[in-house]
Chains A and B, each alone.
Chain A
Amino acid sequence: DAGITQSPRHKVTETGTPVTLRCHQTENHRYMYWYRQDPGHGLRLIHYSYGVKDTDKGEVSDGYSVSRSKTEDFLLTLESATSSQTSVYFCAISAGTVRHEQFFGPGTRLTVL
């Protein structure tokens, strides 16, 4: 499955606590993405990265921050989790501008109580 792992796979946390999700790839792909998946909304882009230390916002970035200090790792942080951030989070990777295919990680189910 394209050498992508996510951790943790499941997490339950309380409102107001910080949460960090990790995406790790072994493909050395340039582009990495964080999506959230909610019923009726498909997959919505939170943030993306186009290289080490190069990141930008997606369509639903409020309340989230990201960091990419190494090619293989892309971290998503919820600074102060809210119940509206209860969702399934998927990381994806893409090789480059010629090959557009995106491949997804296994997902993290986050519940904010």
Chain B
Amino acid sequence: GENVEQHPSTLSVQEGDSAVIKCTYSDSASNYFPWYKQELGKRPQLIIDIRSNVGEKKDQRIAVTLNKTAKHFSLHITETQPEDSAVYFCAAIVSGGYNKLIFGAGTRLAVHP
């Protein structure tokens, strides 16, 4: 079945550094890739997404890149701040309708002051 792999599982950076989280997916027909941020005890929150007709999308300090040939997409956070500390999940839509998502296992990001 469809699968999304996410790396690394944990990431520790100093405030102001950049952080990169990488995901690969198996369904070559997938065309929508969201990223969620989940703070401790909270619900996952959609922070950015990308569709297969673009290669990159930016929103202030976060950006997502997509390489459809390699079936690979990444989240980039620049100028990290302590409030960026959270668990980040990537996901890929399952082709065939119904907007079903397959999620990666998550990356725990710690930003140290």
Given A42-B103, A43-B103, A48-B98, residue A101 in contact with residue B44 (CB < 8 A): no
CB distance from A18 to the nearest CB of B (A): 25
The count of chain A contact residues (Cβ–Cβ below 8 Å) is 26
- A residues within 8 A CB of B44? 43, 90, 104
User: B46 interface residue, CB < 8 Å from A?
Assistant: yes
CB distance from A90 to the nearest CB of B (A): 7
| Cα distance, A28 to B112, chains bound together (Å) | 42
- B residues within 8 A CB of A58? 100
User: B105 interface residue, CB < 8 Å from A?
Assistant: yes
Q: Is the CB of B93 within 8 A of A107?
A: no
Q: Which 5 A-B pairs have the closest CB atoms?
A: A42-B103, A104-B43, A94-B99, A100-B32, A43-B103
Residues of A82-112 whose CB lies within 8 A of B: 90, 94, 96-97, 100-107
Residues of B83-113 whose CB lies within 8 A of A: 89, 91, 93, 97-106
Main secondary structure of the interface of B (DSSP, over half): strand
Chain B residue with Cβ nearest A105: B43
| Cα distance, A107 to B40, chains bound together (Å) | 12
Q: Is the CB of B46 within 8 A of A43?
A: no
CB distance from A54 to the nearest CB of B (A): 10
Given A1-B43, A42-B106, A90-B43, residue A101 in contact with residue B49 (CB < 8 A): yes
| CB 8 Å contact bits of A56-92 with B (1 = contact, 0 = none) | 1011000000000000000000000000000000100
